[in-house]
């Protein structure tokens, strides 16, 4: 970790992330496991650490317990000491939804005292739910060079996706001269990454102007572009918003593709080895006679007796004799019994798949989930935390098996049809 400027970092980690469905039913989106060994927020925290910044406030809100436990005192990212630290910042108001943060700017506004108590020339504002590597120190230097009031990390994205982002029109000097938030008919494919650098004094003045301005992309940025100096900071590396089941699955698959551009090891991404049963301290994975593993990531503590193809396995997964796991993401301590098949699925922690069962079966890839057609539509099946699938059961495509499901819940059924939930 190198020493750098004294910029204060505020990390927004309070979003519900409802499009991740079961994966966020009992945890905040940034706390969702990712890539076998990590949680999503590990990437933002590691970027902060590797950029040399030492003071971080993490703004939490939705189901924060697992996230708070994971971060702890910040030791895993070297945020402990007399001059450094990480502070968990919960909402300052009540427990009703209406009392929660109303937007990104409102979240920062409710924590102005934290900014004032940690003096800095600049404030860096990040999201805690993106997968990327970025040097924030270089961005702050760029911001200072441009003498900007606000600098926004921006990158080119496919036009088919641009409607999901704030977009900026820039001039030859990278100054943003116009802005559209999630345009239906975009004029550009230059998208905001949700990464901002503010001059601290400017940020405090801006937040004090109008309390009805609750969101940076919807309110603060468009006004600032007209009145002040707002610049784009171009980013050319790997960056993914994993806010949907499809993007989450694709980004996990990128880890096992050598040409994808993502490499948590090279990026020096750290996690907390002391949380969740010390997953990074387990014995090495074991590959027994008859096992076959192809194009996969298999974490420590796994036992492989069957076949694993194009999949990401978290610590402690057991794939028994004759079982096959393919095109799937399996969370920690799940068990795939003998002769079971798991294909194109995401299994949460401690899931049990009975002998001979098939999860993600059949050709109904385009049969969307009836309850959540916008969440599951490409064939991916979700199995919730600690669910138990009895032996000899067939579960189709785009299905949902909820948290804590157990043998008796099937009521004698042996088939869950494509697009159904239970």
CB burial of residue 92 (10 Å; 0-12, 13-18, 19+): exposed
Distances from the Cα of 4 to the Cα of 57, 141, 147, 166, 412, angstroms: 17, 10, 19, 29, 62
pLDDT at 280 (0 to 100): 61
The domains of the chain, with CATH numbers, are 8-255 (3.90.550.10), 282-416 (2.160.10.10)
| Neighbouring-strand partners of residue 235 | none
In 276-416, which ranges are E strands? 286-287, 292-294, 297-298, 303-304, 307-309, 312-313, 318-319, 324-326, 329-330, 335-336, 341-343, 345-347, 352-353, 358-359, 381-383, 388-389, 394-395, 400-401, 415-416
pLDDT at 2 (0 to 100): 43
Stretches where the chain sits below pLDDT 50 are 1-4, 94-95, 97
pLDDT at 84 (0 to 100): 82
Distances from the Cα of 280 to the Cα of 152, 293, 315, 318, 351, angstroms: 35, 20, 7, 16, 20
Contact at 8 Å (CB) between 346 and 23?
A: yes
| Neighbouring-strand partners of residue 312 | 297, 329
pLDDT at 279 (0 to 100): 56
CA distance 46 to 157: 24
CA distance 230 to 216: 12
Pairing of the two strands 190-199 and 150-156: antiparallel
Pairing of the two strands 345-347 and 329-330: parallel
């Amino acid at each position: 970790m190198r020493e750098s400027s004294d910029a204060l970092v505020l990390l927004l980690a309070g979003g519900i992330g409802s499009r991740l469905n079961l994966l966020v039913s009992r945890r905040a989106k940034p706390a969702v496991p990712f890539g076998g060994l990590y949680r999503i927020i590990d990437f933002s925290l590691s970027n902060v650490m590797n950029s040399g910044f030492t003071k971080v406030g993490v703004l939490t809100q939705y189901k924060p317990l697992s996230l708070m436990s994971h971060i702890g005192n910040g030791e895993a990212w070297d945020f402990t000491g007399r001059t450094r630290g990480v502070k968990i910042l919960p909402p300052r108001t009540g427990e009703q939804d209406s009392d929660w943060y109303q937007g990104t700017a409102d979240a920062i506004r409710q924590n102005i005292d934290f900014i004032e108590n940690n003096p800095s020339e600049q404030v860096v504002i990040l999201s805690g739910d993106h997968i990327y590597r970025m040097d924030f120190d270089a961005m702050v230097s760029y911001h200072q060079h441009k003498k900007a009031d606000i600098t926004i990390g921006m990158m080119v994205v496919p036009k088919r996706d641009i409607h999901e982002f704030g977009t900026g029109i820039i001039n030859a000097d990278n100054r943003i001269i116009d802005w559209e938030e999630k345009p239906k008919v975009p004029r550009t494919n230059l998208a905001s990454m949700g990464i901002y650098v503010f001059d601290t004094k400017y940020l405090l003045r801006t937040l004090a102007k109008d309390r009805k301005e609750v969101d940076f992309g919807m309110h603060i940025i468009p006004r600032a572009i007209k009145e002040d100096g707002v610049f784009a900071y171009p980013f050319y590396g790997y960056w993914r918003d994993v806010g949907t089941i499809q993007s989450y699955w694709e980004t996990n698959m990128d880890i096992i593709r050598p040409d994808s551009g993502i490499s948590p090891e090279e990026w020096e991404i750290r996690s907390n080895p002391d949380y969740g049963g010390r997953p990074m301290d387990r014995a090495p994975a074991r590959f027994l006679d008859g096992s076959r593993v192809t194009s996969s990531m298999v974490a420590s503590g796994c036992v492989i007796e069957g076949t694993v193809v194009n999949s990401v396995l978290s610590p402690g997964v057991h794939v028994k004799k004759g079982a096959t796991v393919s095109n799937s993401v399996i969370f920690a301590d799940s068990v795939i019994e003998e002769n079971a098949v798991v294909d194109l699925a995401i299994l949460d922690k401690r899931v049990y798949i009975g002998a001979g069962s098939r999860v993600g079966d059949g050709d109904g890839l385009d049969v969307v989930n009836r309850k959540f057609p916008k969440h599951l539509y490409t064939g991916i099946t979700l199995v919730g935390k600690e669910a138990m699938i009895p032996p000899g059961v067939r579960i189709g495509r785009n299905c949902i098996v909820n948290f804590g499901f157990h043998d008796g819940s099937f009521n004698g059924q042996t088939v869950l049809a494509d697009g159904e939930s239970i």
